Chains A and B, each alone.
Chain A
Amino acid sequence: MISSYEYYHITEEQELMVESVREWCERNFTEEDVKEWCKNHRVPNEIYKSWTEAGFGLLGLPEEAGGITADSMTQVLVLEELQRCAGVQMPFLITMQCMNDLTHFGTKEQTEEIVHKYLKTGSANIVLALSEPNAGSDSQGMSSVVKQVGDKLILNGNKCWISNGTDAEYCIIVAKDDDPTRTNKSHSLWLIPMNLPGIDIVPAEKIGTHLIPFCDYYFTDVELKEEYRLGEKGKGFYNLMKNFETERLNVCANNLGLAQAAMDDAAAYVSQRSTFGKEIKNYQLIQEKLVRMEIKLQNLRSLLYKTAWENDHRMDVRLSTALLKHYCNEATTEVTDDALQIFGGIGYTKDTRVGRLWVDARGMAIGAGTSEVMVHIAGRILPKLYEK
């Protein structure tokens, strides 16, 4: 019988990578540590450093920036295993995503210092600020704008729900060029030092993903320099979109790991918990839950690996990632919810990690594209695909 890894053409190196991630987690932290980190809303600096030293934080970054060339499948496998072992939404993906955008669009002068620090410390000193109160996936609704005033470039606007934003030394933002109105389709990316006058950071509280602090940024007459611009003027959103598919793949890998962790815990718990004189694994209502959870996990894994494979083979994955993210949002929310239900009362306490898995998975069903936006993308492609 072939293993599923053979079926998915997963290489020996990729399998070793998964094993190493598991070993890294076992060597670096326990569930008690994770609980403590969640209370402090921080992963300790030495954990960031260790993740980068182990090379996992460098996967996918260009080699000339000190990264390790890795395909989507490898990145997906690493993230899935990390989340499965940690049982919490870890902040590394955000850092990797920012470094990815920075190294792709930035000049050597812009990136050198940040990349050097990242390689040395693994610390998240850069964040990506895209969403605004009235503009998420609807980029045209954005009102942050950089205007030329005399010989100065002035930024005004508001970005919200910025993951890891409170500790950042730099942020990448997308803002409209010159004119904030809806009809203006010219955006630029900017790499902004966070110590510039006119920037206010306001921490925001959220219901989950406690390892990733959240905040809003307010920019009031912030004076920028031309050298802060990342990439070409007017191509900001277009450039960012190039990485959306990869981001969605990675987010789905993250959430699959969380849902798998919920399954791991719930499937073990049914043999420990007895009601009315027998272990709850003997009740058909519980069995049905487990079966449905497993089907969703296997379906999601198939869809994820297939999309990663397509991405690695330079195929157009706009439809595949939209379908994947839509299914992932539903499946991981349902699997973690069923796991919580199996645990019953204790699942709603902080004595187990299933409540954390439930709320963290729910958060990422919104981030990187809601199901509704995925329908918006896939729904427009499908009729064309089936057109006779």
Chain B
Amino acid sequence: MKIVVCIKQVPDTVDVKINPKTNNIDRNGIKSVINPFDMNAIEEAIRLKETYGGEVSVVTMGPPQGRKALKKALAMGCDHGYLISDGALGGADTLATGYTLAKAIEKIGEVDLIFCGRQAVDADTGQTGPIVAEFLDIRQVTFASEIEMDGAHAIVTRLLEKGTQKVKVKLPVMITTTKELNEPRFATAMSIMQSAKKEITVWNSQNIECDPNRIGLKGSPSQVQSIFPPKHKTGNTVYLEGSNEEMAQQIIQVLEEQKVI
């Protein structure tokens, strides 16, 4: 089975700060990590490889620092790393990013499964995975919380707002992953040492035959005007008193008054 995982480096969410002058995320001195949902994607890909055989490639688009994220994925057990890095890709929105990743996956070739995190925690759009699937013209299943393989099919449990949905889908398929899917593994000293031998291939937009009009700012119909922290709303705070049961009763009363329940 040939699996590709798309990952993104995001600022460590604990550290996110917005520069009040530029209204943009202040990345100065901010530590980058692999998007947490992408960690679930990596873990699931490796587990499937361990169970059914095959190989896992991991792809990221971004500046050369993206190499660090790929190295971590390789240390966790992925086999090949691909860094799509090119100044022309800068400023890409989800459409241009999805297009570029799809072109890279096409170049990797004959892929059975593609994993993406359900969304990136910095922009929270949840669009890139589905866009990749659309460009590749393959099936897609979002919000996976459980995955089983059945020959040429994947049986995916989707996590919905009110319950779950089980979907049987023919390969190739793009699946987006939730944190409920698994517990990402820890890169052991041995696996880190072994990852030293794994190479990372760097491709620019020409290597993957991108249409210059569909990448970067040029290929992005949407652009971020500004990012701002939400205004803090201060309301009347009511402090509850009494035993746990009494306080629970008071909460129920408030919820009923507000017609929440």
Residues of A within 8 A of B (CB): 11-13, 15-17, 19-20, 23-24, 27, 53-56, 58-59, 68-70, 78
Contact A16 B188 (CB under 8 A): no
Given contacts A23-B187, A56-B189, 18 further A-B contacts (CB under 8 A): A11-B196, A12-B68, A12-B71, A16-B72, A16-B187, A16-B192, A17-B192, A19-B72, A20-B188, A23-B186, A24-B186, A54-B188, A55-B189, A55-B190, A59-B189, A68-B189, A68-B193, A69-B193
Chain B window 179-192, contacts with chain A (Cβ cutoff 8 Å), 1 for yes, 0 for no: 00000001111111
B187 close to A70 (CB less than 8 A): no
- Nearest chain A CB to B27's CB is how many angstroms away? 14
B72 neighbours in A (Cβ, 8 Å):
16, 19
Q: Is the beta-carbon distance between B186 and A27 smaller than 8 angstroms?
A: yes
Residues of B within 8 A of A78 (CB): 189
Chain B interface (Cβ < 8 Å from any Cβ of A): 67-68, 71-72, 75, 186-193, 195-196
Report whether B188 and A13 are in contact in the complex, using a CB–CB cutoff of 8 Å: no
Min CB gap B184→A, angstroms: 10
- Let me know if B189 and A58 touch, CB within 8 A: yes
The distance in angstroms between the C-alpha atoms of A53 and B72, with both chains bound, is 18
Pick the 6 closest A-B CB pairs, nearest first.
A55-B189, A55-B188, A55-B190, A12-B71, A20-B187, A16-B192
**A26 nearest CB neighbor, chain B only:** B186
Q: Quick one: closest B residue to A55, CB to CB?
A: B189
Taking CB atoms, residues of chain B closer than 8 Å to A16 are 71-72, 75, 187, 192, 195
20 contacts between A and B (CB under 8 A): A12-B67, A12-B68, A13-B192, A13-B193, A15-B68, A16-B71, A16-B75, A16-B195, A17-B192, A19-B72, A20-B75, A20-B188, A20-B192, A24-B186, A27-B186, A54-B189, A55-B189, A58-B190, A68-B189, A70-B193
Residues in B with CB closer than 8 Å to A70 are 189, 193
How far is it, in angstroms, between the C-alpha of A55 and the C-alpha of B187 when the chains are bound? 10
Q: Chain A interface mostly helix, strand, loop or mixed?
A: helix
Give the complex CA separation of A55 and B190 in angstroms. 6
- Nearest residue (CB) in A for B71 is A12
- Please name all residues of chain A whose beta carbon is closer than 8 Å to the beta carbon of B191 when the two chains form the complex: 55
**Interface pair A13/B196, CB less than 8 Å apart:** yes
SS of B interface (majority): helix
A20's contact among B68, B186, B196, by CB below 8 Å, is which? Answer: B186
B116–chain A nearest beta-carbon distance, Å: 23
Chain B residue at minimal CB-CB distance from A24 = B186
In the bound complex, CA of A59 to CA of B189 (Å): 8
Nearest neighbor of B184 in chain A, beta-carbon distance: A23
Residues of chain B with a CB closer than 8 A to A54's CB: 186, 188-189
A313 → B minimal CB distance (Å): 19
How far apart are A71's CB and chain B's nearest CB, in angstroms? 11
Do B189 and A20 have beta carbons less than 8 Å apart? yes
CB neighbours (8 Å) of A68 from chain B are 189-190, 193
Contacts of A69 in B (CB 8 A): 193
Docked complex Cα distance between A27 and B192 (Å): 18
Q: How far is the CB of A1 from chain B (nearest CB, A)?
A: 10
Q: Which A residues are in CB contact (< 8 Å) with B68?
A: 12, 15
A85 to B191, CA, bound (A): 22
Cα distance A56–B187 in the bound complex, in angstroms:
11
Residue with the highest number of chain B CB atoms closer than 10 Å, among A13, A53, A54: A13
- Of chain B, the residue at the smallest CB distance from A20 is B187
Minimum distance in angstroms from B36 CB to a CB of chain A: 13
Q: How far is the CB of B123 from chain A (nearest CB, A)?
A: 24
Q: How far is the CB of B215 from chain A (nearest CB, A)?
A: 28
CB-CB < 8 A to B189: which residues of A? 17, 20, 54-56, 58-59, 68, 70, 78
- The chain A residue sitting closest to B70, CB to CB, is A12
* Contact of B188 (CB < 8 Å), options: A11, A19, A27, A53: A53
For the complex, what is the distance from the CA of A17 to the CA of B195, rounded to whole Å? 11
* Docked complex Cα distance between A92 and B257 (Å): 58
A333 to B187, CA, bound (A): 34
Residue of A nearest to B186 (CB): A23
B190 contacts A13, C-beta separation under 8 Å: no
Which of B68, B72, B192 has the most C-beta atoms of chain A within 10 angstroms of its own C-beta? B192
In whole angstroms, what is the CA distance A12 to B197 when docked?
12
Question: Which residues of B sit under 8 angstroms from A27, Cβ to Cβ?
Answer: 186
Measured between beta carbons, the chain B residues less than 8 angstroms from A20 are 75, 186-189, 192
- Nearest to A56 among chain B residues (CB) is B189
